[in-house]
């Protein structure tokens, strides 16, 4: 929905100078689709505006109104543009989500009459790795289950304004990071690999393999890649750069990733790596 809104704005800005037909619309849509990633960038008066699409799910209408008011207050204070939609049940959200998957942030109650918020989050995670999921609950019993869906945070009811603002700021920062891509020249083509999809990079002689959803091997030094990546990546010795967000656990001898991969850990790196993980949480 947000991508289409940006497209219509882009077309509308040109409509007086040159009408846009179906072919022109399709071309513009293709051009914009190549540029737009997890959230929409629209341009108005030369300024770039981020639009966050936020879903609130709670079977208590009073809680929904309260949280929605806080979210609007956060958006005004943070000077961001957002759209919110509220749902009285997990089933209602999933029904809508089947047709519209462009949500950036989910604020989910856990205890609901039929499907609970954790089960809802698991359904969302099946095809959405980047959305920020925040649980709002009156119970602390489910905290461990949040790790299964990479929940950003748990907020206890009644929600405190300051804590919600802090978590939403973190969510917005993570969304910005998820827009970053690594550009590769591979087999005569330009490939754009989102940072969040990269598990690790591995060097072999004069070549580096970027391990993600698809592996790409290119002739380039690990040092050159290191300069292009951001703070979520950590270099281990001469052979590896790992994505800190992909780490499941660290031992003295190896780094175990969520994918099941194990990266050997060089001597003297254990403490530095753990500090980097904590810093980038």
Tell me what the mean pLDDT of segment 224-231 comes to.
Answer: 93
pTM greater than 0.85: no
pLDDT at 21: 52
Alpha helix stretches (DSSP H) within the chain: 2-14, 22-35, 61-78, 90-97, 117-125, 161-178, 222-228, 270-279
- For the stretch 198-216, pLDDT in tens is 999 999 989 999 999 999 9
Average pLDDT value over all residues in the chain: 82
Q: What are φ and ψ of residue 18, in 5° steps?
A: -155, 115
DSSP at 129 = S
Do the beta carbons of residue 95 and residue 122 sit within 8 Å?
no
Residues 2-48: tens digit of each pLDDT: 444 444 434 343 434 444 455 444 444 444 443 444 444 444 444 44
pLDDT at 163 over 90: yes
| pLDDT tier for residue 135 given thresholds of 50, 70 and 90 | very high
Residue 254 has pLDDT above 50, yes or no: yes
> Which overall architecture, per CATH, does domain 49-178 show?
3-Layer(aba) Sandwich (3.40)
The 10 Å CB-count burial string (b at 16+, else e) for 111-121 is: bbeeebbbebb
pLDDT digits (tens, 9 = 90+) for 69-128: 999 999 999 999 999 999 999 999 999 999 988 899 999 999 898 898 999 999 998 888
CA–CA separation, 14 and 121 (whole Å):
40
179 three-class SS: coil
Question: Looking at domain 181-279, which CATH architecture does it have?
Answer: Beta Barrel (2.40)
């Amino acid at each position: 929905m947000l991508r289409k809104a940006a497209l219509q704005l882009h077309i509308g800005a040109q409509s007086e100078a040159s009408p846009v037909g179906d072919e022109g619309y399709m071309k513009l849509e293709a051009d914009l689709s190549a540029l737009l990633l997890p959230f929409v960038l629209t341009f108005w008066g030369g300024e770039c505006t981020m639009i966050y699409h936020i879903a609130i799910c709670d079977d208590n209408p009073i809680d929904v109104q309260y949280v929605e008011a806080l979210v609007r207050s956060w958006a005004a204070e943070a000077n961001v543009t957002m759209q919110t939609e509220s749902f009285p049940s997990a089933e209602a959200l999933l029904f809508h989500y089947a047709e519209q998957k462009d949500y950036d942030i989910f604020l989910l109650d856990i205890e609901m009459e039929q499907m609970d918020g954790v089960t809802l989050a698991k359904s969302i995670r099946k095809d959405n790795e980047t959305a920020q999921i925040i649980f709002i609950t009156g119970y602390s019993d489910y905290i461990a289950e949040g790790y299964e869906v990479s929940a950003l945070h748990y907020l206890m009811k009644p929600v405190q304004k300051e804590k919600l603002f802090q978590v939403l700021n973190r969510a917005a920062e993570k969304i910005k990071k998820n827009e970053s891509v690594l550009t590769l020249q591979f087999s005569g083509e330009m490939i754009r690999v989102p940072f969040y999809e990269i598990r690790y990079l591995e060097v072999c002689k004069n070549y580096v393999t970027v391990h993600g959803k698809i592996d790409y091997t290119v002739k380039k030094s690990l040092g050159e890649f290191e300069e292009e990546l951001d703070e979520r990546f950590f270099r281990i010795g001469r052979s590896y750069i790992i994505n800190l967000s992909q780490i499941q656990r660290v031992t003295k001898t190896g780094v175990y990733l969520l994918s099941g991969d194990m990266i050997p850990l060089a001597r003297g790196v254990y403490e530095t790596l753990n500090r980097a993980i904590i810093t980038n949480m």
